[in-house]
Chain A
């Protein structure tokens, strides 16, 4: 079966297993394991993280296993998605502690990518809320781990891109909410510096994120719209019906070009008339704005796209981001969507992406010359002490990876200790020399 990540690049013809139980997974990885093998959830990582000649789909490992009504602690199988959790628990007043920008991500994927959300500056990343994991390993069968039991396996698996074993189940805390609505404040920032200042001023806002106009340059380089949010107490818990649009087939690749992108971005920025706007909006458009357009990745055409997401340490953010944005402006390429976010403190997982500072995510249509530009951006990011998010990556060099993720060798030790290096590889792990 032909598989790709969300960016549709690269693709691979893979043999896919669909285990129905934990025992099926063990049989799959231990009795005559197909090699190389990698687990895959809903395929929302952008590049080649979930691609290998043999793939274990967690799609049918999709059961809720236990729920503590008083504390909100949920245990579920790895294939359960945020969409599923929302549909089961939102009407009862519970919300995921951290959520990615699409609800079509599995819990297994969220842990393997150690995903972050708009509340990273206050709540950390997803695995900071995970108390316990069950992992199918090559050497020891099913292993239960936490910060106390097998802490090194726990730390390696959280953010470990599925390279330690197959995540079977996890326990994490849902948080109580009173409404499906978000009280949102939108602030316009004329420059990048102003945007970063707004993040600093509003560090107490539960959620914050900015849309950045990547096609602006000169004095308005990095002009942004900063969005702050908190769960409303008004409006109740009845989930509303949301309209879904579908992109039925791949669009011709010229649909998103630098002129349409520039026009779209200018329109978006200028349609907001006021410096500050307050409104109450449904959680869906606030957290999952693009989920309203099914298969939006088809907008980039059949050649696909890549997302370049990097983080820079706090003190280097302004200068580093300016350098990156100037380099992109000079390249005459444009990113249809650029998302800026200030991160809080990092955790101690070996391969987790977030670090205290600023992250920027940019979408680029794949065409000739793009990877050369991204290699240049890599060296800027490296110079400023930053790194690139593995979950979005399809092309980073092994050298770039090893220099920007300094704990990769500790990660490899755990990988070897559990026999994972004999079986689990993705196209990405092979490219990065893991």
Chain B
């Protein structure tokens, strides 16, 4: 039985992942902003077999609340085997290009809030000397593209932060997992038409649980994104800048 903290627990990928943990009989503590959805999810996870399911409301943009709520979560769980950070928004790139306040809000929601949460979590897990910190970033963080670079910059920042954190926490026996999904069909991406490269949240969730069990440092989900990104990253910048990506 594992003790698992999920931040942004009502995102589609987080819910699917939490269902797998619950059906394995793990202990869960959930944090999310939508309280109505959160309490309903907690009951669902109890029915599925979660050994215990606690939850609190958290607005990740309220940085000042992070430390206290994480302390509460730690106390409720006793210890933390896995802390999974999944929250995020998908900015409207066009608006961000003309309105810095929107861009700032998006960077706060997708990067700075995560850095704040990671800072508090890292202190606690470093003391605990075991466990895994896992964060959902994105393949979009690997190379900036005109259609999506504010989101990409935020996710890329988190990925680099995680690299450093992994390096630092390795000595303490704490694993840091960077989860990089490709296109996933969730409420966040509801407005897009879906093609061949799109995946279901359930597929991503299965991949997350497998990567956690294997104590991986980084994972592309589904697997084929590893090769897509290999190609995308290998295109020389002088050609890349001309592409309509």
Contacts and interface: CB of A to CB of B under 8 A. Distances in A.
Tell me, yes or no, whether A binds B: yes
Interface stretch (A15-23, A368-376, A377-385): A15-23
Contact of B190 (A18, A65, A92): A18
Contact of A21 (B37, B44, B48): B37
B23 interface: yes
Contacts of A62: 15
A249 B195 CA distance: 10
A60 B187 contact: yes
B26 to A, nearest CB: 14
B56 interface: no
A155 to B, nearest CB: 28
Nearest to A16: B190
A399 interface: no
Interface in B7-62: 10, 12, 15, 19, 23, 34, 36-37, 40-41, 43-44, 47-49
A1 interface: yes
A62 B16 CA distance: 10
B47 A248 contact: no
Interface in B64-108: none
Contacts of B196: 248-249
Contacts, number: 43
Of the listed residues B37, B48, B49, the one surrounded by the most CB atoms of chain A closer than 10 A to its CB is B48
A69 to B, nearest CB: 10
B237 interface: no
A1 B189 CA distance: 12
Contacts of B43: 63-66
Interface in B174-198: 187, 190, 193, 196
Contacts of A87: 23
Contacts of A21: 34, 36-37, 40
Chain B interface mostly: helix
A64 B193 contact: no
Contacts of A66: 43, 47
Interface string B215-236: 0000000000000000000000
A67 interface: yes
Q: Which of A23, A63, A91 has the most CB of B within 10 A?
A: A63
B23 A20 contact: no
Contacts of B15: 62
Nearest to B193: A1
Given A63-B40, A66-B43, A18 B187 contact: yes
Interface of B: 10, 12, 15, 19, 23, 34, 36-37, 40-41, 43-44, 47-49, 187, 190, 193, 196
By Cβ-Cβ distance, the 8 closest A-B pairs, closest first, are A63-B44, A64-B47, A64-B44, A67-B47, A63-B40, A88-B48, A18-B187, A21-B36
21 contacts: A1-B193, A2-B193, A16-B190, A18-B187, A20-B34, A21-B36, A21-B37, A63-B44, A64-B43, A64-B44, A65-B44, A65-B47, A66-B47, A67-B47, A88-B19, A88-B47, A88-B49, A91-B23, A92-B49, A248-B196, A249-B196
Given A64-B48, A84-B19, 13 more contacts: A20-B10, A20-B37, A60-B187, A63-B40, A63-B41, A64-B43, A64-B44, A65-B44, A66-B47, A67-B47, A88-B19, A88-B23, A91-B23
